[in-house]
Structure 1
Amino acid sequence: MAAPLRSLCSTALKHYCRSFSSTSCTPAGQIWRESFGLPSKGSEYGPLTDLPDWSYADGRPAPPMKGQVRRQQQREAFARRVVALNSEVDAGMQQWQDKKDAEVQAEEHRKYLILKPKGNHKLKKK
């Protein structure tokens, strides 16, 4: 009676213990690539993903693949967004500078409008 129960328990433990793992979920080389400023995955960008896989024998380039066209469109959209945000920052800086100049000019105008002492009062201070 004890032997069949023991074999049943050992069989059950074999099936349930296989799925346990104590390793990290980091893909191989990800930390090393990120520490050197490279993409976390080896296929995000670079010559293996950006250059065509083949060309015609007479030297003509191959037509671009779907992934290459998609990545090019993403890069163009990103560049457009960068230019738009840069122009917004430039406009904001110009607006800030104009406001600062207007404040300085208003302060100078306020000082100009202040009443000034007249007569011998200036001569006595010297």
Structure 2
Amino acid sequence: MAAPVKTLLRAVLRQPGFRSLSLTAAAPAGSKWRIEHGFARSSTEYGPLTDLPDWSFADGRPAPPLKGQSRRRSEREELARRVVVLSSEMDRGMERWDQKQVETRQRAAKTQSLLLKPKGKLLLKNKK
């Protein structure tokens, strides 16, 4: 009968010269600590080491931006534009919702005013 797969794998992995195999997902070292303390997941996402130029000219002129810096700047600008658009849409939606609430209250008040009013003794009781 054929040997179980587990047994075969163990036999192959125990042979001398065979490297051990890890099947766990790789996580950047310290990412949990960075996130808990309000930093980026990795040190290469944002911060002075990635955002500032690596060098400058001897006379003090700044270096031209690198490709990665230009790309990150354009991504941030695009994100800022998107935030502004979504914020304005949210403001318009809130104004529209407020208008609908006012209209609903006005309709309810108008309906209430059109109802029959008490007369005679009931009117005198309600005034007291």
TM-score range, shorter chain: 0.7 to 0.9
TM-score, normalised via structure 2 length:
0.78
Q: Residue 77 of structure 2 corresponds to which residue in structure 1? A: 76
RMSD over aligned Cα, in angstroms? Answer: 2.5
Change (3 A) 1:19 1:112: same
- Does 2:35 correspond to 1:54? no
1:113 maps to: 114
Q: Kindly provide the amino acid, as one letter, of the partner of residue 98 in structure 1.
A: Q
**Unmatched runs of 5 consecutive residues or more in structure 2:** 1-10
Greater CA deviation, 21-30 or 36-45?
21-30
Alignment of 1:96-107 (within 5 A): 96-107=97-108
Are 1:14 and 2:34 counterparts? no
Deviating runs (4+, > 4 A) in structure 1?
A: none
* Overall identity of the aligned pairs, in %: 52
Specify every segment of 5 or more residues in structure 1 that has no aligned partner in the other structure, as ranges. 1-8
Cα distance between partner residues in 2 of 1:32 and 1:79 = 27
- What is the TM-score of this pair, normalised by structure 1? 0.79
Q: Distance in 2 between matches of 1:70 and 1:124?
A: 77
Measured after TM superposition, the shift of residue 29 of structure 1 is 1.9
Bigger CA radius of gyration: 1
Moved more, 111-120 or 79-88: 111-120
Number of equivalenced pairs: 116
> What secondary structure is seen at the aligned counterpart in 2 of 1:14?
coil
- Equivalent-residue separation in structure 2 for 1:71 and 1:84 (angstroms): 20
**2:77, 2:17 → 1: CA distance?**
52
Measured against aligned partners, the alpha-carbon deviations of 1:80-101 in whole angstroms (never above 9, x if no partner) come to 0111111111111111111100
Instruction: Kindly state the Cα deviation for residue 22 of structure 1 after the two structures are TM-superposed.
Output: 7.3
**Alpha-carbon spacing, 1:64–1:118, altered in 2? closer, same or farther (3 Å):** same
Kindly state the Cα deviation for residue 31 of structure 1 after the two structures are TM-superposed. Answer: 2.1
Query: What is aligned with 1:87?
Result: 88
